Structure 1
Amino acid sequence: MSEPGEAPETRYDFDFGTLVLLRRLVERYAARHGLTGRDLYRFVVAVNEITTNAVRHGGERGRLSLWQTGGRLYCRVTDNGPGLARPDSQGQHAVPADSSNGRGLWLARQWVNRLTIESDTNGTTITLEATPSRPDHP
């Protein structure tokens, strides 16, 4: 998948032991690139849900890339898991309250401007897009 002007500025390999650190790094990066308040919180939580899913369901590790272009902030999470059945339909509907899992993709979709999924038997790539409410501040 290619986004306009894609040139990842930051890449991190992660696993279960580095998820907390990764969340802090994403928060700092997003704040430096214009996300604030509720938008910052929601982006960080959305990314955390996707990275946690990569660890739990996608081969116990993944790679995260962050970049900013055209006034938008992007985050791509890639794993080497078995892939998702019907990726375009994943996370489109709220999960019943009594379900023990399945909320991560739905929540992430609600809290970013756009979320795209590419998936096959070699793994899954999820890209999240957020639009800062103020210009980029390096």
Structure 2
Amino acid sequence: MAEELEPLFSRDFDRESLVTLRREVERRSEEQGLAGLALYRFVVAVNEITTNAVRHGGGHGRLTLWKGDDRLFCEVADRGRGLPSGREWAPPPPATSTTGRGLLLARHGASRLSIRSDGDGTSVLLEITYS
């Protein structure tokens, strides 16, 4: 569905551009009417996925943001080795762990999250519905 919509913006990113990218996602999402807690959660979700792309997906990726009716879509794609089998549904790490919560936070911040992953990379599509 999102592939048929005109992108609001699309950017390549790496570790050095994550903060700027997060601000741009927040600004563009807010311009489209996302506000309050929904805006905060969506931006955190996108940030977690872009950070994962940098850490585990080859050091860089591409983010594309779309709007459709009362939904906002964000796709994050990288060219890493892909997720290990079953990792996309792994249980959360122990409470004492300082890592491993990215997908969990992203799932809580989006209305829907889908993952495609193979040896050529990973693509995560986040969707948030709002009024």
Given that 1:116 and 1:126 are in contact with CA atoms closer than 8 Å, whether structure 2 keeps it comes out as yes
Q: CA deviation at 1:4?
A: 6.8
- Determine the structure 1 residue equivalent to 2:70: 71
Letter paired with 1:102? G
Secondary structure of residue in 2 paired with 1:9 = strand
TM-score by length of 1: 0.88
- The answer for unaligned runs of 5 or more in structure 1 is 134-138
Given that 1:63 and 1:78 are in contact with CA atoms closer than 8 Å, whether structure 2 keeps it comes out as yes
Aligned residues: 131
- The answer for unaligned runs of 5 or more in structure 2 is none
RMSD (Å), alpha carbons: 1.6
Matched, 1:37 2:36: yes
Please identify runs of 4+ aligned residues in structure 1 that moved more than 4 A: none
Deviations 1:1-40 (A, max 9, x none): x537433231000000000000000000110111101000
Distance 1:85 1:47 in 2: 21
- Determine the structure 2 residue equivalent to 1:109: 107
- Determine the structure 1 residue equivalent to 2:98: 100
TM-score by length of 2: 0.92
Distance 1:93 1:43 in 2: 21
Letter paired with 2:78? D
Deviates more, 1:116-125 or 1:3-12: 3-12
For the structure 1 residues 30 and 41, does the alpha-carbon distance in structure 2 shift closer, same or farther, using more than 3 Å as the test? same
- Determine the structure 2 residue equivalent to 1:28: 27
- Determine the structure 2 residue equivalent to 1:136: none
- Determine the structure 2 residue equivalent to 1:18: 17
Q: CA deviation at 1:101?
A: 1.7
Q: CA deviation at 1:103?
A: 0.2
Distance 1:92 1:35 in 2: 29
Distance 2:89 2:76 in 1: 16
